[in-house]
Amino acid sequence: MKKFTLFIVVVLAAALLGGCSIVKYSFSGTSIQPDVKTVTINYFEYKALKVNPSLSNDLTEAMKDKFRKLTKLEQVEMDGDLELQGTVTGYDVRASSVTADEIAAQNRLTVTVSLKFTNRKYPEEDFEKNFSAYSDYDSTNSLDAVEATLCEEIVQKLIEDMFNASVAQW
């Protein structure tokens, strides 16, 4: 009788743990349906007024890297099951903190990206959203002196947020 009870418990546990879920979960936090096999990541266009010549390429390559490292999706040039189209719409520097003498103590570089996510297999997951990230720097530095470091940090934040919104559905 003990063996039979143990057998039933093991079978039930296996059924519950194996589950009948349609959604595929992974250790990377993604929830991609099993029939989704490909992704198209289009070049991020640059339409901000202030120019940063490398930002579009940096965003595009970082997004491709993120998908390559954290998913098993094959990256294709066009008509992927998933498609990401991004546009840099804002690249702004503003004072983030001011001294008593009304002089900027710190400046903030903010980058805004508009992302269109298309899921050809599950269109209910499609969205268009704006993502924004920033980094502060001491106003005694010129933007030219710190821009590369700030952009690297901002790109990582943006990619994390856009990746999570698209395939981790956070």
List pLDDT tens digits, range 27-42: 445 678 999 999 999 9
Is there a domain that residue 80 lies in? yes
60 with 44: CB under 8 angstroms? Answer: yes
Q: Tell me the H-state helices in 40-141.
A: 55-70
Intra-chain end-to-end CA distance of the chain, in Å: 47
Q: What is the pLDDT of residue 97?
A: 75
Is there a domain that residue 6 lies in? no
64 with 27: CB under 8 angstroms? Answer: no
Q: What is the pLDDT of residue 1?
A: 63
Tens digits of residue pLDDT in 94-130: 988 776 667 768 999 999 999 999 999 999 999 999 9
Taking CA 133 as the corner, what is the angle to CA 127 and CA 136, rounded to the nearest 5 degrees?
Answer: 175
Tens digits of residue pLDDT in 116-170: 999 999 999 999 999 999 999 998 899 999 999 999 999 999 999 999 999 986 5
Whether pLDDT at 24 is above 80: no
Whether pLDDT at 7 is above 70: no
Q: What is the pLDDT of residue 31?
A: 76
Counting the structural domains of the chain, the total is 1
Q: What is the pLDDT of residue 28?
A: 45
CA–CA separation, 5 and 138 (whole Å): 68
Distance of CA 161 to the CA centre of its chain: 4
Is there a domain that residue 10 lies in? no
CATH of the domain at 64: 3.30.160.150
Q: What is the pLDDT of residue 8?
A: 61
Residue 112 backbone dihedrals phi, psi, to 5 degrees: -120, 135
Structural domain boundaries enclosing 49? 37-168
Nearest to 59 by CA among 107, 28, 81, 91: 91
Looking only at the bridges linking them, the beta strands covering 127-138 and 82-98 are: unpaired
CA–CA separation, 103 and 95 (whole Å): 9
Mean pLDDT of 48-76: 96
Is there a domain that residue 1 lies in? no
Is there a domain that residue 16 lies in? no
* pTM confidence score: 0.79
Mean pLDDT of 58-84: 97
Is there a domain that residue 21 lies in? no
Whether pLDDT at 18 is above 70: no
Is there a domain that residue 66 lies in? yes
90 beta partners: 112
| Plot region of 47 (φ>0 → left; ψ -120 to 50 → alpha; else → beta) | alpha
